[in-house]
Chains A and B, each alone.
Chain A
Amino acid sequence: MSTKLGMKHFWPFFWKLANPKVFMRWSGLCLPWIIALTVLCLGTGLIWGFFLTPDDARQGSTVKIIYLHVPSAFIAINGYFVMVLGSLFWLVRRQHVSVLVAKASAPIGMTMTVIALTTGAIWGQPIWGTYWVWDPRLTSFLILFLFYIGYVALWAAIDDQDKVADLTSVLALVGAVFAVLSRYAVIFWNQGLHQGTTVTIADGVSQKNISSIFFQPLLLSMIGFGLLFLTLLLIGARTEIRAQRLQVLEGLERLK
């Protein structure tokens, strides 16, 4: 009952955020709190993870890179999801805030993809004996990175704001379809060629494969990374909104 009531208030409020003024006011109010929470969660999670957990029996202290690797991978995928949703809302409802949120999401997601790939490579060298294998998971992350680059590059290429918003949104939607397709194609491809040689990673997200000593700080740093993403997203979107206002003001100034 209470969740239903909550939802009833949430959605009208959510759509009201599409008004840039409302968005700026609310995001301005929330931002300091979110930043504080981010610092708290991320700080506790990482310090707990790095210094207060025992070394793994076989992997030694290299296992601790998991506290950066798993959360960044988690955000890399969800960043794309946010991008696609923002694009979809823009195409349907034509509200600038949503497309600017999508625009702000792309570089963050791209950076997270790089972090996930790099930390994975650094961990892989001592454990697997190589920085890189064409494992389906790694490959699809690399492909995800390419999709991010394409989206960001298209934003940079065109000046006309409404036009580029339309074009990038279309690209994000089609890209999402093809990204999912690539994900499954890659699984098919690697099994088809190198059967049995793929390295299976113990999935950090499901609690079965990981002891709770490691899981609790991991969960905390995942929440921390989520909040970090939200912080950067809000800052990015606020900057974009201000940049667009500035552009309009400069246009008006030139007319005088």
Chain B
Amino acid sequence: MIQLFTRDVVLSVRSGGGFGLALVFFLILVVLMPFALGPDQSVLAKIAPGLLWLGALLACLLSSDRIFGMDYEDGTLELLATSPLPLESVYLAKAAAHWFTTGLPLSLAAPVFGILLNLNLEVGGVLCLSLLLGTPALSLIGSFGATLTLGVRRGGLLLSLLVLPLYIPTLIFGALTVNAAALGKELDGSLIPILAITLGAIAILPFFSAMALRANLQ
């Protein structure tokens, strides 16, 4: 399982497709926002937390169809299915690798990009923390969606259609936390729902994803 994780991480770093792209996409999104909304500093600061959460979410989503896609096409996934490793663990390892290469860098970069949107560093810290707790859930849900759309040619659009509604609770709690911090409120426990969604996703999604993988590999 750890080998599979390192293999996926190494592949995504070396193949020059996944690793940096999500981050650059996130940056471009942040740069485009002031063009759409005007350069007014106070307006930007007001909507920055929500925008950064939304941007991170979209960047996560866009990279999630590669999690299983390549391995399904070249037959690696079938080999993995016949190996002693249960499919639940395959899913967990791949989702973890996806988080490590997208969610983690996105969370760390978000406060820095926040400066562009006039977000102060203290709130940036809360943003980083909430993303660190929330992006694993995004990766897990995205990977789950990827297992559903494996067999669909050009499944990218379908994937976002299936996954985006599932992202709603995470987005709500994530943006809520950072917005509250931006208004100068105490954190007291508002990170707990995000953590709960992540832990819940770890608990239930592996089984459903493995079911979907089995249906696809029959």
Beyond A163-B216, A170-B208, A174-B208, whether A157 also contacts B155 by CB under 8 A is yes
Q: Which chain B residue has the least Cβ–Cβ distance from A163?
A: B215
Q: Beta-carbon contacts of B42-71 to A below 8 Å, as 1s and 0s? A: 000000000000000000000000000000
Q: Contact: A150 with B169, CB < 8 Å?
A: no
Q: Which chain A residue has the least Cβ–Cβ distance from B158?
A: A157
Q: Contact: A150 with B215, CB < 8 Å?
A: no
Q: Which chain A residue has the least Cβ–Cβ distance from B173?
A: A185
For chain A, the count of residues having a C-beta within 8 Å of the partner chain is: 30
* A46 interface hit (Cβ, 8 Å): no
Q: Size range of the interface on B?
A: 20 to 34
* A166 interface hit (Cβ, 8 Å): yes
Which residues in window 177-192 of A have CB below 8 A to B?
A: 177-178, 181-182, 185-186, 188-189, 192
* B135 interface hit (Cβ, 8 Å): no
Q: Contact: B215 with A186, CB < 8 Å?
A: no
* B162 interface hit (Cβ, 8 Å): yes
* B212 interface hit (Cβ, 8 Å): yes
Query: B172: which A residues are within 8 A, CB to CB?
Result: 182, 185-186, 188-189
* B152 interface hit (Cβ, 8 Å): yes
Query: B149: which A residues are within 8 A, CB to CB?
Result: 154, 157
Q: Contact: B212 with A170, CB < 8 Å?
A: yes
Q: Contact: A163 with B218, CB < 8 Å?
A: yes
Query: A174: which B residues are within 8 A, CB to CB?
Result: 144, 166, 204-205, 208
Query: A162: which B residues are within 8 A, CB to CB?
Result: 215, 218
Minimum CB–CB distance from B95 to chain A (whole Å) comes to 14
* B165 interface hit (Cβ, 8 Å): yes
* A158 interface hit (Cβ, 8 Å): yes
Task: Choose among B148, B169, B179, B218 the residue that contacts A185 (Cβ–Cβ < 8 A).
Answer: B169
Query: B179: which A residues are within 8 A, CB to CB?
Result: 193
Q: Which chain B residue has the least Cβ–Cβ distance from A169?
A: B211
* B161 interface hit (Cβ, 8 Å): yes
Q: Give Cα distance in the complex from A149 to B152, angstroms.
A: 17
Q: Give Cα distance in the complex from A172 to B180, angstroms.
A: 33
* A219 interface hit (Cβ, 8 Å): no
* A52 interface hit (Cβ, 8 Å): no
Q: Contact: A146 with B165, CB < 8 Å?
A: yes
Q: Which chain B residue has the least Cβ–Cβ distance from A178?
A: B166
Q: Give Cα distance in the complex from A147 to B162, angstroms.
A: 8
A-B pairs, top 7 by smallest CB distance, nearest first, are A166-B215, A185-B169, A146-B165, A185-B172, A181-B169, A150-B162, A189-B172
Chain A residues in the interface with B (C-beta under 8 A):
91, 143, 146-147, 149-150, 153-154, 157-158, 160, 162-163, 166-167, 170-171, 173-175, 177-178, 181-182, 185-186, 188-189, 192-193
Chain B residues in the interface with A (C-beta under 8 A):
144, 148-149, 151-152, 155, 158, 161-162, 164-166, 168-169, 172-173, 176, 179-180, 193, 197, 204-205, 208, 211-212, 214-216, 218
